[in-house]
A and B are shown apart, each in its own frame.
Chain A
Amino acid sequence: MTFEESELQKLVDEIIGLLEKYRDDPGSLDVILSELKSLYRRVPIYPGIIANCLSMVVKSIEPKQLKIGDEVSLLTKDNRILTGKISSVMQGEIKIVDCYEYGGQKLSDECNIPLANLKEARLFTREILHKEWPDLDFEE
């Protein structure tokens, strides 16, 4: 056998790549795992679609492009990793709610983060199947 006769290998490669890329970011890994479970439950016969969708669950984004409602993981310049949902965007600062820090401890109901303190922002996309393949988003 010289070709992959299914797209299972592609899915396994994608999962390994994501685990390596986000090994320091449990917030991102949690969202990836949740989406993987949801995708596999809904479209187990399409591993290629699962792999493609999974690669889009977490993506880097310019902090200035963040907007209210985005669910994110934020890497600060002092190497803290915070996850939460953006509740307001102000000049030079964002506020996130349901804010957790690496280790899983909830910091407070909300948290202000100066944009200048951010090294990287990672935007989460949940319900990825519905956004990418709405016709395959079967009711459970």
Chain B
Amino acid sequence: MPELRLKRGNVIKIEGFASFHIKEGKVSIIGGLHDKWAEVVIPRAKSIPIEAESDAIIEYMLGPSGKIEKLPGRTIPREWDMLVEEIVAKKPRVVLIWGEVDAGKSFLSTYIANMLIRKNLRVAVVDGDTGQSDVGPPTTLGVVVVDKPVVFLRDVSAHATYFIGSMSPAGHILEFMVGIKRMVERGLKSADVVVVNTAGWISGGPGRAFRLYEMELLNPDMIVALQRGRELEHLLKSMDQFKIRRIAVSKQIRPRSRSDRTFLRELALARYFEGAGRLILDLGKVLLERCYFHTGEPIDPKSLGDTSIVYAEKMPEGLFIVVSGELSDNKAQELKAKFENLHIIRPWDAKNVIVGLANSNDELVGLGIIDEIDYAREKLVVVTPVKDASSIMAVQFGSMKITPGGREVGTIKPGTF
């Protein structure tokens, strides 16, 4: 394995795919102090700076697209250290980090967490980016409690996660608001400081609404605005100026391409579902959430006079039916006249829909991918790494279709189920 000798104060950047371990000496990685035998794997489309705190030797391997670059000096701006000093001095309970996509919010959150544990503070980080999630799998929000130096937050087991069901906050603002509040509350129970890394949606009507209501809901003690220029000023104008700390984006932050982001999402999902098995859930025993299905009064499908209807229930919004063949226009009109509205789905519509699996405390225990719903027998078959079906009390419907290999294969029209 090739070696790289570093003198105290040397700074390098390693781009993935790459792996290395420290053979001798001490290095600082994103503010965290690491010594002998620490091993790090850097995926494609990610890079990290390494600062030698003493003379050090690292052994490394570079994969395709991996590279090592010597840098002229520290990559962490001085103002980041001043921010950490202020957090240590004032001990704000909730620190909200705002920044557009690829501003380095995860990097800054990790840096703050690593620096605070050096000062013996307990830190929790809430990850609000469901697409490029570092905490928990994509489609979830999560919180980690950091108690030792970390390179990537994904290397720490999530303290709690909340299912959103989508890669983006678009159309899921309510789920986001509930989830982020819950994750911050969980973090506050275990940590002195909770750092909230928010999604990079900062403009347009929904983006503004999302940011401002999130701020009102969480009532942070400090808002860190990570900016390249003035891209957050439209939000900051209406804020309590005493809470705002304006911080420059590190010049080392390289925007990721859309294909890189897709690759990282797929990789994270594929890792999550690796080794997953099929679980059969009894719809008579588990609750179904975030859907119309199973919320109405069951109707015997045979009573509706069409053999293509395999499942039916009456809801305030009309008749919910699952149709396996062709429903004649006459029958459809007859049912619509009788029930005012028809909500039709097909047995195969649920295939590959991502779902959250929650326990009796309404906490997410894992993700699942629907393999099939047997409407006649009231069984739901999911592919999931969760092994124990008895731990699952509720199934929350998401808005994406995913394969167990991590590939996104579709989205769900809101209200379909």
Pair B409/A138 contact, Cβ less than 8 Å: yes
**Bound: A5/B410 CA distance, A:** 23
Nearest to A48 among chain B residues (CB) is B170
Overall SS of chain A's interface: loop
Chain A, 1-39, CB within 8 A of any chain B CB: 3-7, 9-10
Is A78 interfacial (CB 8 A cutoff)? Answer: no
Pair B173/A5 contact, Cβ less than 8 Å: yes
Nearest to A9 among chain B residues (CB) is B205
B209 surroundings in chain A (CB, below 8 A): 3-5
Pair B206/A5 contact, Cβ less than 8 Å: yes
Per-residue contact bits, chain B 396-417, to A (CB 8 Å; 1 contact, 0 not) = 0001010000001111111000
**Bound: A43/B408 CA distance, A:** 12
**Bound: A44/B24 CA distance, A:** 54
Per-residue contact bits, chain B 164-201, to A (CB 8 Å; 1 contact, 0 not) = 00101011010000000000000000000000000000
Looking at the assembled complex, report how far the CB atom of B132 sits from the nearest CB atom of chain A, in whole angstroms: 13
Q: Do A6 and B208 form a contact, CB below 8 Å, given A44-B411, A45-B399, A139-B409? A: no
B409 surroundings in chain A (CB, below 8 A): 138-139
Q: Do A46 and B411 form a contact, CB below 8 Å, given A6-B171, A9-B205? A: yes
B206 surroundings in chain A (CB, below 8 A): 3-7, 48
**Bound: A6/B208 CA distance, A:** 11
Pair B401/A138 contact, Cβ less than 8 Å: yes
Tally of chain A residues near chain B (CB < 8 A): 19
Pair A7/B414 contact, Cβ less than 8 Å: no
**Bound: A48/B204 CA distance, A:** 10
A133 surroundings in chain B (CB, below 8 A): 258
Nearest to A4 among chain B residues (CB) is B205
Looking at the assembled complex, report how far the CB atom of A49 sits from the nearest CB atom of chain B, in whole angstroms: 8
Looking at the assembled complex, report how far the CB atom of B212 sits from the nearest CB atom of chain A, in whole angstroms: 8
Per-residue contact bits, chain A 82-106, to B (CB 8 Å; 1 contact, 0 not) = 0000000000000000000000000
**Bound: A47/B208 CA distance, A:** 17
Q: Do A45 and B408 form a contact, CB below 8 Å, given A4-B206, A7-B205? A: no
Chain B, 254-288, CB within 8 A of any chain A CB: 258-259, 262
Pair A46/B205 contact, Cβ less than 8 Å: no
Which of these, B166, B205, B208, B258, contacts A135 with CB under 8 Å?
Answer: B258
Looking at the assembled complex, report how far the CB atom of B352 sits from the nearest CB atom of chain A, in whole angstroms: 10
Pair A45/B171 contact, Cβ less than 8 Å: yes
A46 surroundings in chain B (CB, below 8 A): 168, 170-171, 411
Q: Do A45 and B259 form a contact, CB below 8 Å, given A5-B206, A5-B209, A6-B171? A: no
Q: Can you list 27 A-B pairs with a CB-CB distance of less than 8 A?
A: A3-B205, A3-B206, A3-B208, A4-B204, A5-B173, A5-B205, A6-B171, A6-B206, A7-B204, A10-B204, A10-B205, A42-B410, A44-B411, A44-B414, A45-B168, A45-B170, A45-B413, A45-B414, A46-B170, A48-B170, A48-B204, A48-B206, A133-B258, A135-B259, A135-B262, A138-B408, A139-B410
Q: Which B positions have Cβ atoms within 8 angstroms of A?
A: 166, 168, 170-171, 173, 204-206, 208-209, 212, 258-259, 262, 399, 401, 408-414
Q: Which A positions have Cβ atoms within 8 angstroms of B?
A: 3-7, 9-10, 42-48, 133, 135-136, 138-139
